Every structure is written in structure tokens, then in C-alpha cells.
Amino acid sequence: MSGPRVWSRFSAKASDGTVLKFRIEDMTEDRIEDVMTLLMTHFATEESLHRGSGVPKNPKAMAELQEIYKELWNEKPNQIVICVSDEETTTNSELLGASVMDLETREEASKEIRHDNATTEEIKKFLEIITCLFTKYNVFDKYDLDKFYDDRGVVVLPKCRGLGIAQEFFRVRRLMCKEHNIPMTGGWMTSFGSQKAAIRDNWETVFEINYEDFGKEVGVKFENVPPTCIFMIARGE
């Protein structure tokens, strides 16, 4: 039986000089819970908009966020790839990182994000923040698109950061665009790490908003964030 599609094999040198080998491959159904755990542990707790809304500080909000993630995965076609060690061939090898996109259409993008179903104040604030941010730049109108791959998060285990995994995830996104005949991928890069990784992979900055000004607009003080929140795009290779 054939395994998951492998999009990339690459290597990096650790601080002790050891050469580490990695591969990026499609997420299989049996890894869904692993990816969810990775996202909830290291993405939801560290990403700027989640932190600004206070979600990581409230266990009930975190539980509600996890249900939102699950709903989104069920409602829309997602492209999720994972990074594992290429030294291991077992199906349960440690998950080192994940990249999540969904196929966004012009019709879906025009629908309002609903806040009324949220039960915690932190999730209400989070949805308010992303609703406001998403109105700042319309990639469909700017490039006359009917569909594109929209960023839903890149996360790498802390012990594996600085090895180029996030940058390789961004490169793979361009490969996936070409493979699936999707004209463009893009998204809001909200953290130092995602911005640096996308820049290294030659993604293009097409819009940015000052974090301090945006925080005043949504009534939040963002801390430990880059000077600006950036919308970046890339086309298929």
C-alpha cells in the first residue's frame, strides 16, 4: 500500500553540526488528532491574534477554539501537510510541524464571520479581530481571482525552529498551487517567524497594517509582535 504524497525532502544542520533530514508529506487521516494537538499547543497559544484576544488564558475559550477548528476542517477542503524526520519510516513518527491551508472561493469569502454563536468573551473578541483584519485587503478583487489557497496556520515544534522547516512549508504551498491549478496562495503573516520564513521564500508583501493602530481599532494591545501585520502572496512555481 502506498504511503502519503511526499512533497519535499530536505536537510538542515543542527547547532551541534549534526545533519538532520526531513520530509514534508500530506497529512493522513490517522494524523488528524496529532495535528490538532500541535496546533492547540503551539499555534493557538503563540499566534499574535489569538494572544491579543486572550484565548490562551481561558481553558473554555481554548476548548471552543478547538471546536471551531474542527468545524472549519469539516466544512471546507483543506490542504494540510506535515513535517517528520526522514530518518524514520514509521507511520507514528513524531510530528515536527504542520501547514494548514483551505481553498477559499470568492463566494465563501463574501460571507460574514458570525460572532453570535460564540460562548466565551475571548472567542467573541478573536472573531471580531479577524473579521476586522480580513476586511483590510480583498485578494479576490485585487487579482480578479475566483479561488486561492488561504493560510490557516504554520506551526513548528519549538525544538525544531531555526532549521528552515517553516520556509520549506511556504515553498511547498507554491508547489501545491501549481499541482492543483490554483493561481495563488496568500495570507496574513502575523508573527516574526511567519514573516521571516515567507520573506526567505520570496513571498511578496502586498499590504500591511501597523499593529499599534490596528490594536486601537479593535480595542486590543498586541504585545511582542512585529511592527506591522502583513498580507503576503505567492504564485505556483
Return per-residue pLDDT of the chain as tens, 237 residues. Answer: 468 999 999 999 998 999 999 999 999 999 999 999 999 999 999 999 999 999 999 999 999 999 999 888 887 668 999 999 998 766 678 999 999 999 999 888 766 666 668 899 999 999 999 999 999 999 999 999 999 999 999 999 999 999 999 999 999 999 999 999 999 999 999 999 999 999 999 999 999 999 999 999 999 999 999 999 999 999 976
pTM: 0.93
What Cα–Cα distance (Å) separates residue 155 from each residue in 106, 128, 152, 168?
Answer: 27, 23, 10, 12
113 closest CA partner among 175, 71, 62: 71
d(CA 53, CA 85): 34
Task: Tell me the CATH number for domain 6-235.
Answer: 3.40.630.30
CB 61 within 8 A of CB 120: yes
Instruction: Name, in order, each residue with C-beta under 8 angstroms of 161's C-beta and a sequence gap of 6 or more.
Output: 193
CA proximity to 186, closest of 224, 155, 142: 142
Question: What does the pLDDT read at residue 1?
Answer: 47
